[in-house]
Amino acid sequence: MPKPRKAQISLDATPYYHCISRCVRRSFLCGVDQYSGKSYEHRRQWVEDRLILLARTFAIDVCAFAVMSNHTHTVLRINQTKAESWSTKEVVERWHRIYAGTTVSKRFLSGDTLLECELHHLHNLTQRWRARLQDISWFMRSLNEPIARAANQEDQCTGRFWEGRFKCQALLDEQALAACLAYVDLNPIRAGIADSPETSEHTSVQKRIRAAKSDTPYQPDYLLPFVGNPRKNQPDGLQFHLQDYLELVDWTGRIQRDDKRGAISTTLPPILQRLNISEKQWIQLTGKMETLFPTFVGRAKQVKIASKTLGYRRVLGLAQCRSLFPT
């Protein structure tokens, strides 16, 4: 029986999660239907545009994403501190970007004077909305529902477009996070629809490369930035250097594309040396992330702690964690 989300997502375990949503119909989310010849490639932009909107609205940071033919990958971080810092007005404004709100919330934003009972109602509303704006289930719901409606309207049909539940993996440490980021960014290369990270359309790695190569290099505001190695008083973001990560993705992509491994240098990128992951372990992690780990990804000790915290009777995927994540 599937575990409820409250038994899969907990800030006590980790703020980082890898989410996968898959389609249920043969017509696919994107790509070209081999039977009808109709192209659905434009739907990739639907997903990307919606994802950017939600990244700028929710207190959930997007670390990586990839829009594939029949599924989407997102690596998300719950930013509770950000959500708690919002004023009542900011919570209402953010909620109204994606949902209609209520009569009371609309009157509040327009500057009308509210009665005491209406203020009490507004307070309860904002507390509920603040919680939802830092909830991964609500993030995925807000991402998938509009896409499903638009696709059904375009296909002139009704019914489910996505599987009933999105898959969720908890990323418990920086080794698991780095492996999952690369796994997601390299999905188009592994699927044979792109030759390099910079040509991987509708992926976060392509956005990061284009931004880094611009005349005035920057990091996209809708993606959680890379800020370097952990140290005190450091800006909030991913604890790796962007250049190191891009080199790692390029190195990994070359190995996964080339049948003759001997033609490629076996020198590990610096980021792997710091994470203490061997070449063999890394290739397994970035090639089979979904199949190797049912729920938790990280060192065995971290998996045991997270399983206990979330009330699991059995520790899932412990053998894989012991073999692939060095202590």
Q: What is the pLDDT of residue 269?
A: 82
Q: What is the pTM of this model?
A: 0.91
Residues facing residue 16 across a β-bridge: 77
- Looking at the structure, give the CATH architecture of the domain made up of residues 5-79+135-324: 2-Layer Sandwich (3.30)
User: Which one-letter amino acid corresponds to residue 313?
Assistant: R
Per-domain boundaries in the chain: 5-79+135-324, 82-132
CB 14 within 8 A of CB 171: yes
CA distance 298 to 301: 8
CB 219 within 8 A of CB 208: yes
3-state secondary structure (DSSP) of residue 18? strand
For 61, phi then psi, to 5°, come to -85, 135
In terms of Cβ atoms closer than 10 Å to its own Cβ (0-12, 13-18, 19+), residue 25 is: middle
3-state secondary structure (DSSP) of residue 201? coil
In 180-319 the beta strands, taken as DSSP E runs, fall at: 296-297
Q: What is the pLDDT of residue 262?
A: 39
CB 170 within 8 A of CB 7: no
- Tens digit of each residue's pLDDT, the chain (327 residues): 466 666 677 788 899 999 999 988 655 677 676 666 778 889 999 999 999 999 999 999 999 999 998 899 999 999 999 999 999 999 999 999 999 999 999 999 999 988 999 999 999 999 999 999 999 999 999 999 999 999 889 888 888 889 888 999 999 999 999 999 999 999 998 888 888 888 899 999 999 999 999 889 999 999 999 998 766 667 789 989 999 999 999 888 887 655 444 344 556 788 888 888 888 888 888 888 888 888 899 998 888 888 888 888 887 788 888 888 877
Q: What is the pLDDT of residue 121?
A: 94
CB 304 within 8 A of CB 315: yes
CA distance 293 to 321: 8
In 113-231 the beta strands, taken as DSSP E runs, fall at: 167-171
